Every structure is written in structure tokens, then in C-alpha cells.
Amino acid sequence: MNQDYIIPNEWSIIEEGFNAERVKSSESLFSIGNGAMGQRANFEETYTGSTFQGSYIAGVYYPDKTRVGWWKNGYPEYFAKVLNAPNWIGINVFVNDEALDLNTCKKVENFRRELNMQEGWLSRSFKATLPNNVEIKVEAKRFLSLDLDELGVIQYSVTPISSDAKITFQPYLDSGIHNEDSNWDDQFWNTLKVTQDGEHAFIEAHTMKTYFHTCTFMQSEVFINSAKQAIQPEVEQSENKISFSYSVDVKENETFTIHKFGGYTVDRNHEIDELVAVAKNVLKEGISRGFDALLEQQKQAWAKIWEMADITIDGDVKAQQGIRFNILQLNHTYLGKDARLNIGPKGFTGEKYGGSTYWDTEAYCIPFYMATKDQQVARNLLEYRYNHLDRAIENAEKLGFTNGAALYPMVTMNGEECHNEWEITFEEIHRNGAIAFAIYNYHRYTNDYSYIPEKGLEVLIGIARFWYQRVNFSTAKNKYVMLGVTGPNEYENNINNNWYTNYIAKWCIDYALENIEKVKTEYTSDYERIMSKVSLSEDEMQSMKKVADNMYFPYSEEHNVFLQQDGFLDKELISVADLDPSQRPINQKWSWDRILRSPYIKQADTLQGFYFFEDHFTQEELERHFDFYEPFTVHESSLSPCVHSIQAAKLGRMEQAYTFYLRTSRLDLDDYNKEVEEGLHITSMAGTWMSIVEGFGGMRVKNDTLSFEPRIPEQWDGYSFKVNFRGQIVKVNVSHSETQFELEGNNDLEILVNNNKVTVKPHSLVTI
């Protein structure tokens, strides 16, 4: 609906002109975050038009009572919800005592919003004529500090331009907020205390049920032009709210400015009874640095992120803007500092998909974080699952598994399952495989084996046990089969022998057994510690091996391909190309049964397996499976095009690879799915990164060596990216004629380029 209004720009997201219809979309697109908190780009001043207010604190959630038509055993009682947190950004603005509200202004001109990706701030400016005919100019800029991640800062200026005017800034805190996404209209916050201490204000509140204690805080300074004003504010205080009013009679063309410092302290990081004291210190530190210095530090911090994570694209501004937007928003969401946090599919930009963590993290996000951050970040993401292992075991027990079998939840905040559709919650169990694969992938990429004896092996054993118990022996097939699953392709439910699931299950068992052996030989004390904890007998291992060795994989002799599941060939195999376009997207046009009995694939399923385990298959096998399955794929998941882009690139089909790339990179900026109002698709943004680095750049780790097979879409003049490979930064610069490699650090690095060994020396360009 609001497509294509974002102005192409290499480093900024820009909107010009005020359009009330676009407010909710822009609130999503211009979202900011710093890993510890994030917020939609809601206006600071009152806005009575249609808006979706959202401010979120990492790790603070609410267990909403589950809503379901018909209850089934094993469903979670609660569904953890991302929680709209108390508002600290609000600044009511009055002009001659009339409220500034863009929804009621007589005229709004020169409206401009900018999300400066390079420097990490959001700004907004406009000229408005209020109902009382006073004309003012407004400029606002805000950011969430990367440096002091409990702090956000706003600079908000009003200049009367048609006459003198009394201007009032009324910064406030408000914990009487509600959630858009609430099953029962419960109140989610309980306000404990609203306090004022000189120019500071604090609201202490805790979430209902989960008792996350937070302190929301603020302090402000006001200026005429650049001269600080010592105004005693009027204080208003109620049960859930506190505001300070600063009024000044401002001369025409003079500027009244407020610097508002605010944010949250939370009990994840501090003792409950110190939340206010810590908040005071944060404010003190913020005020003493001041807005300008904090902004400068923000620019430097973002420069560091970009230094490592930037991808440049020459000759295609929209593609450039798109990839940077994806990298920016991933960094808004998760910076990898805290193993208790993870990457929610909508990050801090909306409430949908209430739980925080999906298999998206392991399958799509970890490669991005491994390559653009220190390896500790990826390790933190692995540890997140290690820390939830006990819950995963409990979760499996609820479904009847025993003896330490672990089933990680489909959606979770704290390790407990948060989702309740039986075909997903109970059956989309392949997620377990991705969690094991991430351990393998981490070791493959970083060569840090220590994680496995320390923590990973326990996870691998729990997962292997789950698969071992989940299969059953089919006398008819004389093989182990896995009945009643949903694969990555969620357009098939409760199917038997999903090839991807069976394959990754077998792999998980093999990989667990292989690592048990290795840890036994090389990490004796870890081995003993783990074995005494998990009591894994030789017998059980033998039985597991038997399952792995005799797993059933559906195969078609006729087509010479693995079948996505039993019975796939009974379908009416009409390709997507031959489908009436008016019938698409099928998830909006067709009833669920029709989707299920169709051959149409929501996202890579068999091909996801070929992506994870590409060295298990020949290029020719890949080609055959790609040619068989891609024609039936509707890509109605945001996670589908990236895998197909990578596979198409691998097959040298650059035109197709580029088409898939386009579908993923500007998904939100161009509002491809007509739902950007609800928030951004954060996890699929990592897939966009993979499309370039792994797809076009052809980056892999082969036999412990970093390897590239660079290709470039015709539409681009060139592109570059950097990766952190085992502490060394490799910069890759691809054009149509050549590829350049550059290395930071002190040691040579041997890499493979199109399977040829190349030695890259520090700070000297290698051109191929």
C-alpha cells in the first residue's frame, strides 16, 4: 500500500512529504535500536492519527495466556509476547498553549524523515501551521546510544516563524501503555512507583506475571538558540505518568530546544533496588557528555560496525540502500553482547511472532554474525541454546520423550515453547537439526572446537536422543521412518518421511556420535563430566547408530531425485509458472487444504538440505533437485529467496540468482508483502547478506580454508564485502573483470579462489 516512497540513497533512508497513510509503515522502517532496547519511529509529540506505538526492551516479555480454538495436550499454557515498554520518548509540545499534533495542523510542509544508517540516528523536520495559525519549524533528532546502551537521547527544537510564541515542552514518562498484540486485553505492566528527584524522573514498574523490574527514566535540558536555560519546570504526576513542563516565550525565528535523556535500567543487569540509582548514574553520565558528544560517539561506534559489516554495491543505489538497511537493522536488533538475548523475527520494530527466537537464528543469522563480528558473538548465540537445554528436555518430556531427549521450542523467549499450532509446535521438529548444525557451522568457520566439549556436546546428545526416539522402525520398509512431521516447507503438514527432516536427523546422530568419540579421546575430563551427567550407554549409542545407518529417504527413480516426502508424486505437478497469477500468493487466495494438497513449496525444503550439506552432493545432483523443486516453489516465506539465490548462483544462473536477491533485499523498504506497518523482517535480512557473500561471493569454508567463487550480477558494476575469518579481516572486491582480496592483520592467509590456492598477504591487494 505505501510502496516505493523511500527515496533511494546510499547511506540514508529518507521520506519526504507528510502522508498520514504512511505513518505506521514509516514507524517500522525508521525504527532504531541498540541491541538492549529499540523503538518504532513514533513521533515525540502528540499524534492523534493512526499510529502503532512501540518501545521494546531486550529480554522483557509477557506470558500472555494462550488463545486457541481447541486445546490439545502438550500446548503451552502461555505464549510469551514481546512487550510494549513504558514510553520515555514523549514530549508534548504546546504553542501558545495549543498542542502540536500533525494530525490537526492546518498545514504541514517540508516534512522530511531521515534514518542515517552511517551514523546511527533518526531525524525529522517539518514546518507546520497550527490550528491557532502560528507557524513553526520543528527539528528533531534522536538515537539510542551504542556506547551507553541504557540511554537514548532526543534533541527537539521548535522555531516560531510567523510571530513570537509561547512554546511549552512537556517531556514525560508513561507506563500506562498497552500492547497492540494482546489476547485478552490484559494489562501487562504494574507501576510500582513514580518519583521525581530534582530534574530526574523515574517510573519503577514490573511486568505482570514475569516480574521483570524496570526503571524508566528521564532528564531534560532546554536551550534558547544554543544558550542553556535554567527554567524550573512544572511537575505533573499521576499513577502511571510524570511530566515536566518547560515554557518560554520565544521570539520569532528564535529556537527553543530541548535535550531529553531517557531510557531503561532493567533487573537483568542490576539489582532491583538499585535500578533507580543506576538510572541516575546513566543520566549523570549522559548529561555530562552532552548531546553533541554523545552523537559524535554514536557516529564513531557505528563507523566501527560498518568498518566490519559494510557491503558496497556499485551502480545500483537501491540495492546499496537495501543491503545497508538490512545490515543496520540486524545490528539494531542484536549486537551479540549478551548470551541471554537473541534475534526476534521482528526485532524491536513490532510485536508479531510474539516469541523471540526461531530456528532463523541458527539457520540464517549465525553466518552473518560469525563473519561480521568477533566470534564470541556467534558463540553467545550457541550458548543461548545451551542455557535452554533443560527446558528443551522438559519440552520433549511434555510430548512423551524420555531419558534426556531434547526438543527445542519452535518459538521461545526463555526456553519454553511459545507457540501452539499442533502442526508446528509438535511437528515442525526439524528446528532441532538447525540448532545442531549451527554448532557444526561455528566450528567449521571459527575452528574453535572448545565449545563442543564445554557445552555443545550436551546439546548434541539431547538432540540425537530426540531423533532416535522420534523415528520408528517400519517393517514394511525395513528402514527407520519418521512419521507426522512438518518440514521447513510449512505448506505440508503432518507428512511422513520429510527428506530434509530425516536427513538432518541422521546427520545429527552421526555428528553427535562422532563428537562423543572425539571428546572421549581428546577431552577426557569433559567427557567424564558430560557422561556422568547424561548417562549415555554404549547400547544406546549402538541403537542410535543403527537408526542413523538405516534411515529411510524417499526417492524417485523416475525423476532421479529425493522426494520432499512420501507421496509427493501423487500430487498434480503443475509448475508455479503455469498457475493463474490471480491465484497468488496462494496463502492469501487458497484455503489451507488446497495449499496442502498442492505441490507448492513455501520455502526451500529439500534445497535447504542441499544448502546445509552441500559437500554431500554433487553439483549435478544439486542441479537436478533445483530443477525439480524450484518450479514448484512460491517463495511465500521471507526466508526462501535467499537460499534459492545462493543455489542459483552456485549453478551459474546469475540472472535467476539476482531475481531472488531482489525479492529479499528490499522486502521491507518496498513493502513487498504489504505488512511493513507491523514491523520489519529482521531474520530474513541475514539471508540477504548470505545471498551476496555466499551466493555472489561464493564464500565457503572448505577443508578449513576460506574459499570464494565470485560472480557478479550483470546489473551491478561491482560490489565488496568483508568477513572476519578466524580473527583476520578479508575484504573482497568484485567487479566484472576481476576480484580483489585485501587482508587486515599481520599474518598471511591462504584462501581458495575458484578452487585455486591463493595466498593473501596483509595490506597488499591480490587481484584475480
Distance (Å, rounded) from C-alpha 469 to C-alpha 467? 5
Q: Which residue from 538, 593, 620, 704 is in contact with a copy of itself, where contact means CB under 8 A?
A: 593
Among 45, 360, 416, 427, binds a copy of itself (CB under 8 A): 427
Rounded Cα gap, residues 446 and 724, in angstroms? 9
642 neighbors 660 (Cβ within 8 angstroms): yes
Q: For residue 112, report the phi and psi dihedrals to the nearest 5 degrees.
A: -150, 135
Nine cell digits for residue 45? 509529540
| Candidate ranges 354-362, 365-373, 591-599, 638-646; the one touching a copy of itself (CB under 8 A) | 591-599
Q: For residue 494, state whether it binds a copy of itself (rule: CB under 8 A).
A: yes
Q: Closest CB to a copy of itself among 63 and 695?
A: 63
3-state SS record for 617-635: CCHHHHHHHHHHHHHHECC
The residue (of 66 and 103) whose beta carbon lies closer to a copy of itself is 66
Cα–Cα distance, 744 to 752 (Å, whole number) = 17
Cα–Cα distance, 665 to 574 (Å, whole number): 29
Minimum distance from CB of 161 to a copy of itself (Å)?
49
Instruction: Please say which residue, 427 or 458, places its beta carbon nearer to a copy of itself.
Output: 427
Give the amino acid at 319: A
Residue from 198, 227, 230, 476 touching a copy of itself (CB under 8 A): that is: 476
Beta strands in 103-179 (DSSP E): 107-116, 121-129, 135-144, 151-160, 165-174
- Minimum CB separation of residue 390 from a copy of itself in Å reads 19
* Euclidean distance between CA atoms 571 and 489, whole angstroms: 15
**Cβ closer to a copy of itself: 417 or 670?**
417
Residue 478 contacts a copy of itself per CB under 8 A: no
Residue with cell 537493522: 329
Q: How far is the CB of 535 from a copy of itself (least distance, A)?
A: 23
Which string of b and e fits 683-702 if b means at least 16 CB within 10 Å? bbbbbbbbbbbbbbbbbbbe
Q: Specify whether the CB–CB gap between 81 and 351 falls below 8 A.
A: yes
Q: In whole angstroms, how close is the CB of 482 to a copy of itself at the nearest point?
A: 9
Q: Is residue 613 close enough to count as binding a copy of itself by CB under 8 A? A: no
CB of 429 to a copy of itself, least distance (A): 8
Instruction: Report the site for a copy of itself in 52-91 (rule: CB under 8 A).
Output: 66-70, 72-74
Residue 569 Cβ vs a copy of itself, minimum distance, rounded to whole Å: 4
Binder to a copy of itself among 161, 224, 308, 481 (CB under 8 A)?
A: 481
**Which of 538, 572, 578, 580 is in the footprint of a copy of itself by CB under 8 A?**
572
Q: How many CB atoms are closer than 10 A to CB 587?
A: 15
Q: Footprint of a copy of itself on residues 530-559 (CB under 8 A)?
A: 558
Span interacting with a copy of itself, options 48-56, 207-215, 492-500, 688-696, rule CB under 8 A: 492-500
Residues annotated as catalytic (active site), given as ranges: 490
**Structural contact between residues 3 and 670, judged by C-beta atoms closer than 8 angstroms:** yes
The grid coordinates listed for 728 are 583476520
Among 7, 596, 622, 758, binds a copy of itself (CB under 8 A): 596
Q: Smaller CB distance to a copy of itself: residue 187 or 472? A: 472
C-alpha cell at 181: 498484540
- State yes or no: residue 403 binds a copy of itself (CB under 8 A): no
Looking up cell 542410535 gives 544
CA distance 598 to 601: 9
Q: Cell 564513531: give the residue.
A: 300
| Three-state SS at 470 | helix
For residue 741, give the 3-state DSSP assignment: strand
- Which listed range, 44-52, 245-253, 421-429, 748-756, lies at the site for a copy of itself (CB under 8 A)? 421-429
Question: Which among 206-214, 513-521, 566-574, 624-632 is the span making contact with a copy of itself, rule CB under 8 A?
Answer: 566-574
CB of 423 to a copy of itself, least distance (A): 8
The verdict on 674 binding a copy of itself (CB under 8 A) reads no
Among 538, 539, 570, 714, interactor with a copy of itself by CB under 8 A: 570
Question: Binding of a copy of itself at residue 588 (CB under 8 A)?
Answer: yes
Q: Smallest distance, Å, CB 492 to a copy of itself?
A: 9
Closer Cβ to a copy of itself, 401 or 610, answer by number: 401
Question: Judged by CB under 8 A, how many residues of this single chain contact a copy of itself?
Answer: 49
- Residue 359 known to bind ligand: yes
Q: Which distant-in-sequence residues (6+ apart) come within 8 Å of 333 by Cβ? A: 33, 35, 38, 343, 344, 347, 348, 682
- The DSSP string of 544-566 is HHHHHHTB---EETTTTEE-SST
Query: Would you call 21 helix, strand, or coil by DSSP?
Result: helix
CB of 611 closer than 8 Å to CB of 646:
yes
**Which residues lie closer than 8 Å to 678 by C-beta, 6 or more apart?**
28, 52, 346, 350, 351, 352
Shortest reach from residue 565's CB to a copy of itself, in Å: 10
Q: At what angle do helices 389-398 and 457-470 cross, to 10 degrees?
A: 10
Beta carbon nearer to a copy of itself, 372 or 565:
565
User: Beta strands 749-753 and 705-708: pairing type?
Assistant: parallel
Q: Are 720 and 707 in contact (CB under 8 A)?
A: no
CA angle at residue 435 from 433 to 441, to 5 degrees?
A: 100
Whichever of 15 and 351 has its CB closer to a copy of itself, that residue is 351
**383 or 677, CB closer to a copy of itself?**
677
Only one of the segments 56-64, 435-443, 581-589, 727-735 lies at the binding site for a copy of itself (rule: CB under 8 A); that segment is: 581-589
Sheet harboring 55-57: ordered strands across?
32-33, 37-39, 55-57
Identify which of residues 572 and 620 has a Cβ nearer to a copy of itself in the complex: 572
Binds a copy of itself (CB under 8 A): choice among 137, 166, 545, 571:
571
Give min distance, CB of 726 to a copy of itself, in A. 41
Q: According to the binding rule CB under 8 A, does residue 597 interact with a copy of itself?
A: yes
Figure out which of the listed residues 65, 178, 304, 477 binds a copy of itself, where binding follows CB under 8 A.
Answer: 477
Binding-site residues for substrate, in ranges, read 359-360, 602-603
* Contacting residues toward a copy of itself, per CB under 8 A: 66-70, 72-74, 398-400, 420-423, 426-427, 472-477, 481, 483-484, 493-497, 558, 566-567, 569-573, 587-594, 596-597
Binding-site residues, in ranges, read 359-360, 602-603
